[in-house]
Amino acid sequence: MQTLRQFLSPAPSRGFRYRRLPSTSRIPSTARHNSSHARNLHHQTPFHSSAAEAPQQQQYPDPLPSTNPALSFPCLDHVETRSATLSRRAPGAGPEPSYTTGRTDTFHSTDPLLLDWGGILPSFAIAHESWGTLNADRSNAILLHTGLSASSHAASTAANEKPGWWERFIGPGRPLDTERFFIVCTNVVGGCYGSTGPGSVDPANGERYATRFPILTMEDMVRAQFRLLDSLGVRRLYASVGSSMGGMQSLAAGTLFPERVGRVASISGCARSHPYSIAMRHTQRQVLMMDPNWNRGFYYDGIPPHAGMKLAREIATVTYRSGPEWEQRFGRRRADASRPPALCPDFLIETYLDHAGEKWCLEYDPNSLLYVSKAMDLFDLGAEHREMIAGLRGKNQYKLDAYRQGETLETAEAADLCTLTLPETPYQETGDAEATLEEAAAADIGASDEPPADLVAGMRPLADTPTLVLGVASDILFPSWQQREIAETLRKAGNKKVMHVELGVEQSMFGHDTFLLDLENVGGALKRFLER
Amino acid sequence: MQTLRQFLSPAPSRGFRYRRLPSTSRIPSTARHNSSHARNLHHQTPFHSSAAEAPQQQQYPDPLPSTNPALSFPCLDHVETRSATLSRRAPGAGPEPSYTTGRTDTFHSTDPLLLDWGGILPSFAIAHESWGTLNADRSNAILLHTGLSASSHAASTAANEKPGWWERFIGPGRPLDTERFFIVCTNVVGGCYGSTGPGSVDPANGERYATRFPILTMEDMVRAQFRLLDSLGVRRLYASVGSSMGGMQSLAAGTLFPERVGRVASISGCARSHPYSIAMRHTQRQVLMMDPNWNRGFYYDGIPPHAGMKLAREIATVTYRSGPEWEQRFGRRRADASRPPALCPDFLIETYLDHAGEKWCLEYDPNSLLYVSKAMDLFDLGAEHREMIAGLRGKNQYKLDAYRQGETLETAEAADLCTLTLPETPYQETGDAEATLEEAAAADIGASDEPPADLVAGMRPLADTPTLVLGVASDILFPSWQQREIAETLRKAGNKKVMHVELGVEQSMFGHDTFLLDLENVGGALKRFLER
């Protein structure tokens, strides 16, 4: 044991003159560090262990011990190690990982695609996989839409035997019955698993699009998918089926092309994004964009923003699962109760999130996450929005015509379109609870059981399409009220063939992820819907 | 209009030989960039506008235009401008902002404080403010506990006329009636508004604690507060009152010192943190710790991690408010509908979050956020946890004794305590829904209406204390089931004086923030409770 007096006396000097510090008053700490030195410490222990690393004019003796030991940060060490590993990869190969999930078929369209918000894809590829056999009259095709980050690999194939993300849902006698149906699943445009996305090369300049990729919508992705269906000779789908983002797309397909879609199944989807889900995706995009390695999207030759991707996935994972399961599975258990608490992952729920982020941070292209997640925010089947987009498409049709004729826009005009700045007066919190409650009362929020008229009008194209709407009570990202909204809107629009299923907490505690896990309830409802 | 042919032909050369690029196939992009060049682009437009910035051996002509314009990122420009501004501040002053909120009283304790997890504060300060007058027998004192990031400035005082965070709740005839009560509010230990926290100087070495500050608990904060009460001669509180984290502390005060607390009011608090709230605080800590400026806590002489703080606050803000209010207030409105969508804030809900982060990012010490938020995670009034901590305190008492006698621990032992690493086998997702459902059924999750026996045992010290428990149905961070858990636990422990109030969505749509806003319902319930 050392005495306290020993602690307060000068430490063994390395030949420097020791400056006695006042022990209780605050001292201007610039007397001891400067900021560049402080920043170097990010990769060091917090002690000034090496005088050589300090600037010449500031040399210190060994420090006095602190009252308590410094915390360690193994979680940061781990991230830094990965950065170092990625930067050591062979320069020829580039550090950018390959996002392929295995062999797929690829459809190439050389006819340019005009996007809803005015962007143009001069050409594009759609990676796709299929199961079952297309019948002679091509009437048994089901288009399966994916969630945000999934590939076309929904189930194992001869070319890729790895289990897919809906492995148990596809096969003979399964909900997507391969003895009866021809099921095709695509990687969405904007994705990174073989379809054209921000990581693809822009034919105009031979460089990767990065954040020169145009803003996308669900409907743009669906239009690209229907080009693939055209190439397969599928005029009319038996059904459009999807979960999560795929649920949005399934509804979008039925709304855009009612005459080409026989049935629509939307599982844990929505008719329009609501503020909580936009907010949660916003935070994911922001943490990713704040990673210096993101480099405004131009990281393809550098270190990918794996730290930002890890964080984004951790936030996303919170929204994918829900309270009841976590209460039971993790509760308040710590990863190692024999250790003192730490600021790095410590509770079991934290190590679960950390692990989810670790597993994923090099599995998906960061720019694809930004564009596809933004497309989800923009989704809105309301009539006002649909009409606005229709108007915009009309206005921009000349771009497509010009492009097809070998002309293009002047850069100045195009650049002006995309310089969104924040409004000059940002949103102000009023703090006036009464006023807002009155506004809410006036707007009848939560009081009305009627679906919004704007949505009824916008979804009217689906009035004759048999539709399955499935929601999960424990889902916080696409909450069950959003599923009820779809079902009630369709009924109000005159649809007499709406099958609405809501799984209560006693049926599923898995929140939004239920669609990936619950073969019995989700698969069962889907099978009944497709076969009736 | 330029023709497409013009786009595909060489741009005006600056004397470099132009290399024609294949226009449709992917090219190894390392042929055109290298990673250090790519990283420089973070502060540039994505075009290679200046050949001088490219490495010597790689010089290119002006680039070909891309099909679509590059997106702009005003939100990142803004963050970079703030970094530059902070780094330009006078070196003497240091860029670290001062977190004071105005004049407070300060209590200094020179008797060391042993913390629950074994840390020691050799001495500490408690900033506090008070309203009303302590009566002759010192029986009318109310200790008011704050939320996570609040200062002691709950209401305006003669010394600081700025409105406080509970301005309308404190005053003559108000819920905390200054004609009747003496109300004292403190900044918590670990905070940054005048009480000792990570930004304070460790007397052992004259340096700021930073992440050498010891891990804290709610009970540690309460023990420090009771030292202040001792100094004021307040033996027994009329009541302990708090909301959010303050609700935890209010319960902790009553549990630690039942004989010294006359009544307990816990508003939107909990008896123990649950996984969703731990997860959301985890993501806030992680985004902050991932900001390079955080520098493992040693940023006091450099640029504070304002970008990480902004992100952390944005995530926190999602948990402070809730769906119904946002649906009504923001809906799907965009900040400027005349602009095309952007990856920077775009929807009104995004600009709201962005603004909340902007306002706060230099208002609170980042290390305080980490320590205080961690202390919230660690909160658990269950008997098993309380007994474990009691055992640990007994085991560590010798440290305090040694410290008081002028001795201290050997550094090696202390350091070993704090090197938590992740478990070797991280949590594995089983993907087996059926198995988990069976486990859940076996554990009777959600099925039991009985409060957990462990919690009933741990909260038994409160069996005779009149207690107000107030919850808000729209709160997702401290959900109303957690308030019911407190009330039912206390009743089960034999408490016959539990007043449980739950505000439905028709009374408040403001989620967790209701306690700051709702004078009528929250204030009204509190007033009735204190005066009955």
Give me the CATH number covering residue A301: 1.10.1740.110
d(CA A41, CA A38): 5
CA distance A464 to chain B (A): 27
Residue identified by tokens 């200062």 is B151
Report the pLDDT averaged over residues A8-25.
33
- If asked whether residues A311 and A361 sit together in one domain, one would say yes
Look at B378 and A22 and tell me if their CB atoms are within 8 Å.
no
Report the pLDDT averaged over residues A217-238.
98
Nearest CA-CA partner of A125 in A65, A49, A203, A177 = A203
Look at A300 and B38 and tell me if their CB atoms are within 8 Å.
yes
Q: Would you state the pLDDT for residue B11?
A: 34
Of the candidates A331, A346, A377, which is a domain's last residue?
A377
CA distances from B456 to A331, A332, B266, B470 (A): 17, 17, 17, 19
CA distances from A170 to A132, A237, A449, A511, A526 (A): 9, 17, 37, 22, 11
Mutate to test the interface with B, among A220, A293, A301, A372 (most CBs of B within 10 A): A301
By DSSP bridging, strand A113-114 and strand A120-121 are antiparallel
CA distance B486 to chain A (A): 16
Q: Is B244 a catalytic residue?
A: yes
For the cut 70, the answer to whether the pLDDT of residue A187 exceeds it is: yes
d(CA A469, CA A254): 13
CA distance A323 to chain B (A): 6
Q: Would you state the pLDDT for residue A102?
A: 81
Residue type, B359: K
SS (H, E, C) A77-106: HHHHHHHHHHHCCCCCCCCCCCCCCCCCEE
Q: Would you state the pLDDT for residue A435?
A: 47
Pair A227, A447: CB distance under 8 Å: no
Look at phi and psi of residue B15 and say left if phi exceeds 0, alpha if psi is from -120 to 50, else beta. Answer: left
Query: Which residues are within 8 A (CB) of B350 and not within 5 positions of it... i.e. 6 or more apart?
Result: A278, A279, A282, B335
Which of A27, A33, A445 is nearest residue B327 as measured by Cβ atoms?
A: A445
Chain CA centroid to CA B36, Å: 36
d(CA A457, CA A383): 5
Which of A32, A74, A440 is nearest residue B421 as measured by Cβ atoms?
A: A74
- If asked whether residues B241 and B326 sit together in one domain, one would say no
Look at B341 and A28 and tell me if their CB atoms are within 8 Å.
no
d(CA B251, CA B384): 17
Domain of residue A197, residue span? 105-276+451-531
Residue identified by tokens 């209780």 is A24
The token pair that represents A419 in the structure block: 């310089």
- If asked whether residues B523 and B471 sit together in one domain, one would say yes
Mean pLDDT of chain A: 83
Q: Would you state the pLDDT for residue B12?
A: 33
In a domain, A339, yes or no: yes
| Mean pLDDT lowest among A138-142, A404-408, A463-467, B457-461 | A404-408
The token pair that represents B112 in the structure block: 């060391």
Mutate to test the interface with B, among A40, A283, A333, A388 (most CBs of B within 10 A): A283
SS3 assignment, position A108: strand
d(CA A382, CA B334): 15
- If asked whether residues B123 and B268 sit together in one domain, one would say yes
Other C-beta atoms closer than 10 Å to the C-beta of A482 total 21
Find, in chain A, the residue whose alpha carbon is nearest to that of B339.
A420
The token pair that represents A427 in the structure block: 């949103």
Find, in chain A, the residue whose alpha carbon is nearest to that of B514.
A433
Report the pLDDT averaged over residues A293-315.
96
- If asked whether residues A214 and A117 sit together in one domain, one would say yes
Residue type, B152: S
Residue type, B43: H
In this prediction the ipTM stands at 0.84
- pTM across the whole model: 0.85
Q: Is B512 a catalytic residue?
A: yes
Domain count for chain A, please give it.
2
Q: Please list the ranges in chain B whose pLDDT falls under 70.
A: 1-62, 90-97, 323, 408-448
Pair A297, A198: CB distance under 8 Å: yes
CA distance B242 to chain A (A): 20
In a domain, B14, yes or no: no
Look at A437 and B4 and tell me if their CB atoms are within 8 Å.
no
- If asked whether residues A204 and A338 sit together in one domain, one would say no
Q: Would you state the pLDDT for residue B317?
A: 94
Beta-carbon pairs below 8 A across chains A and B: 551
- If asked whether residues B229 and B146 sit together in one domain, one would say yes
The token pair that represents A371 in the structure block: 């564009």
In a domain, B12, yes or no: no
Of the candidates B359, B377, B395, which is a domain's last residue?
B377
Q: What is the largest CA-CA distance in chain B?
A: 93
For the cut 70, the answer to whether the pLDDT of residue A152 exceeds it is: yes
Pair B452, B486: CB distance under 8 Å: no
- If asked whether residues A485 and A520 sit together in one domain, one would say yes
Q: Would you say the C-alpha torsion A269, A270, A271, A273 has a positive or negative sign?
A: negative
Look at B297 and A71 and tell me if their CB atoms are within 8 Å.
yes
At residue A207, what are phi and psi to the nearest 5 degrees?
Answer: -110, 160
Q: What CATH number does the domain containing A179 carry?
A: 3.40.50.1820
SS3 assignment, position B182: strand
pLDDT category of residue A440 using cuts at 50, 70 and 90: very low
SS3 assignment, position B439: helix
- If asked whether residues B258 and B314 sit together in one domain, one would say no
Q: In what order do the strands lie in the sheet with A239-243?
A: A105-109, A124-131, A182-186, A141-145, A239-243, A264-267, A467-472, A498-503
The token pair that represents A5 in the structure block: 């007096």
d(CA B421, CA B417): 11
- If asked whether residues A252 and A338 sit together in one domain, one would say no
Q: Would you state the pLDDT for residue B333?
A: 93
By DSSP bridging, strand B170-171 and strand A182-186 are unpaired
In a domain, A117, yes or no: yes
Q: Would you state the pLDDT for residue B180?
A: 98
Selected catalytic residue, list B475, B480, B508, B513: B475
Q: Is A108 a catalytic residue?
A: no
In a domain, A58, yes or no: no
By DSSP bridging, strand B124-131 and strand B105-109 are antiparallel
The token pair that represents B502 in the structure block: 């739950």
Pair A422, B334: CB distance under 8 Å: no
Q: Would you state the pLDDT for residue A97?
A: 66
Q: What angle separates helix B306-320 from helix B74-87, to the nearest 10 degrees? A: 130
Q: Would you state the pLDDT for residue A371?
A: 98
B138-180 pLDDT per residue, tens: 999 999 999 999 999 999 999 999 999 999 999 999 999 999 9
Give the best-scoring range by mean pLDDT among A163-167, A440-444, B414-418: A163-167
The token pair that represents B91 in the structure block: 């070196």
d(CA B353, CA B362): 16
pLDDT category of residue A426 using cuts at 50, 70 and 90: very low
**What proportion of chain A, given as a percentage, has pLDDT over 70?**
78
Q: Would you state the pLDDT for residue A60?
A: 53
The token pair that represents A223 in the structure block: 């239009």
pLDDT category of residue A408 using cuts at 50, 70 and 90: low
Nearest CA-CA partner of A288 in B242, B400, B99, B290 = B290
A130 DSSP β-pair partners: A184
In a domain, B91, yes or no: no
- If asked whether residues B226 and B155 sit together in one domain, one would say yes
**What proportion of chain A, given as a percentage, has pLDDT over 90?**
69
Q: For residue A398, give the H/E element and its range.
A: helix A383-404
Q: Would you state the pLDDT for residue A93?
A: 54
Q: In what order do the strands lie in the sheet with B182-186?
A: B105-109, B124-131, B182-186, B141-145, B239-243, B264-267, B467-472, B498-503
Q: Would you state the pLDDT for residue A182?
A: 98
Q: Around B451, how many Cα atoms within 13 Å sit in the side-chain half-sphere?
A: 25
Residue identified by tokens 């990065």 is A210
d(CA A382, CA A452): 9
By DSSP bridging, strand B498-503 and strand A124-131 are unpaired
Q: How many degrees, rounded to 5, is the angle at CA A319 between CA A313 and CA A324? A: 125
Of the candidates B332, B353, B377, which is a domain's last residue?
B377
Pair B508, B468: CB distance under 8 Å: no
Other C-beta atoms closer than 10 Å to the C-beta of A24 total 12
In a domain, B341, yes or no: yes
d(CA A182, CA A528): 17
The token pair that represents A278 in the structure block: 């936009």
Q: How many degrees, rounded to 5, is the angle at CA A67 between CA A63 and CA A69? A: 80
Query: Which residues are within 8 A (CB) of A364 and not within 5 positions of it... i.e. 6 or more apart?
Result: A99, A149, A192, A309
SS3 assignment, position B351: helix
SS3 assignment, position A511: helix
Query: Which residues are within 8 A (CB) of A203 and not within 5 positions of it... i.e. 6 or more apart?
Result: A122, A123, B23, B24, B67
Mutate to test the interface with A, among B9, B99, B215, B420 (most CBs of A within 10 A): B420
- If asked whether residues B241 and B343 sit together in one domain, one would say no
For B367-401, the DSSP string reads HHHHHHHHHHHT-B--HHHHHHHHHHHHHHHHHHH
For the cut 70, the answer to whether the pLDDT of residue A358 exceeds it is: yes
SS3 assignment, position B199: coil
In a domain, A322, yes or no: yes
